[in-house]
Amino acid sequence: MNSEYKSLDKLLILKITEEIDHHTTEKIRRKMDNEITRYMPRKVLFDFNEVSFMDSAGIGLIIGRYKVAKLFGGEVEIANARPSVKKVLEMSGITRIIKINDGIRIAN
Amino acid sequence: MKGLYDNEMKLEFLSKSSNEAFARITVAAFVSQLDPTIEEISDIKTAVSEAVTNCIIHAYEDTDGIVKIVTRLIGNTVEIEISDSGKGIENIELARRPLYTTKANLERSGMGFTIMESFMDEVEISSVVGIGTKIIMKKKIKKIENTTDIKEECCSKTIV
């Protein structure tokens, strides 16, 4: 996972670069919470562009980070999810509380 | 002599979370001989990942045990049997319920069985407390008629 903080917009971009399952979430979770508590961003954007696989562990991961971000008054958004990942996201119902954004281009 | 199934593979591994990716990739590779679509393959990978994760965190609760997977191909249907000798499920009906989880502290979403059921055509759960759990999932791979090949054949014949 890589992260980038844009202080002007108080935007924290968390780019996930691995498959998301129960095994990988433990490590990703720790890193994400470090970044969120460090910057206390207004918005946390999960960039799913490089995520080729996600099972229900990803749902728990996102809901958990949503709660952490909310503690600091921030919101959460998901960008660039592939159809297979989107299918899991939509099934879980979290799309009702977390916005899924398709057309975001994130400059490196 | 023709057996009950056209092809079969068996897999046994330790209940380590690092094997979750290994399990779903191996099953997907075996199933690929039925020529599934990308969507069908990712449905199968997700369902296998859910079932194997259940064995690791619920059945064995992070202790070492053996997870067994048998995958059979019967015509266009894939049958995946995933079993463990772990603690078993007390109430299967409750476990199947969306959002129900006994491991909320691990940030589990309680969507495992719901995903298996909606990504596969059929999911059968049998479990005995203290003995283990067996899950049998089935999915039919839809055959896409390859019309372009036929057309090409026709065309080449007319040219000749």
Domain residue ranges of chain A, discontinuous segments joined by +: 2-101
Return per-residue pLDDT of chain A as tens, 108 residues: 999 999 999 999 999 999 999 999 999 999 999 999 999 999 999 999 999 999 999 999 999 999 999 999 999 999 999 999 999 999 998 999 999 987 666 654
Residue B72 lies in a domain: yes
ipTM: 0.91
Hey, of B24, B46, B105, which one would you mutate to test binding to chain A, going by the most A CBs within 10 A of its CB?
B46
Residue B15 lies in a domain: yes
Q: Are B32 and B78 in contact, with CB atoms under 8 Å apart? A: no
b/e per residue B100-120 (b: at least 16 CB within 10 A): bbeeeeebbbbbbbbbbbbbb
pLDDT of A14: 97
State which residues form the domain around B38: 7-159
Band of the pLDDT at B33, cuts 50, 70, 90? very high
pLDDT of B145: 65
Residue B1 lies in a domain: no
Please tell me the class of the A2-101 domain: alpha beta
Predicted confidence (pLDDT) per residue in B88-102, tens digit: 999 999 999 999 999
Task: Kindly write down the DSSP assignment for every residue of chain A, as one continuous string.
Answer: -EEEEETTTTEEEEE--S-BSHHHHHHHHHHHHHHHHHH--SEEEEE-TT---B-HHHHHHHHHHHHHHHHTT-EEEEE---HHHHHHHHHHTGGGTSEEESS-----
Band of the pLDDT at B104, cuts 50, 70, 90? confident
Average pLDDT over residues B141-146: 78
* Alpha carbon distances (Å) from A30 to A27, A33, A52: 5, 5, 21
Instruction: Determine the distance in angstroms separating the CA of B79 from the nearest CA of chain A, rounded to an integer.
Output: 20
Q: Which residues of B touch A (CB under 8 A)?
A: 17-18, 20-21, 24, 38-39, 42-43, 45-46, 49-50, 53, 56-57, 106-109, 111-112, 114-115, 118
pLDDT of B153 higher than 50:
no
Residue B12 lies in a domain: yes
Question: pLDDT: is B160 or B40 the higher one?
Answer: B40
Residue B43 lies in a domain: yes
Band of the pLDDT at B146, cuts 50, 70, 90? low
**Out of B38, B46, B56, whose CB is closest to A55?**
B46
Nearest Cα residue in chain A from B101:
A60
The total number of structural domains in chain B stands at 1
Q: Which residues contact B1 (CB under 8 A, 6 or more apart)?
A: none
pLDDT of B159: 44
Residue B2 lies in a domain: no
pLDDT of B127 higher than 90:
yes
Q: What CATH number has the domain bearing residue B140?
A: 3.30.565.10
pLDDT of A104: 64
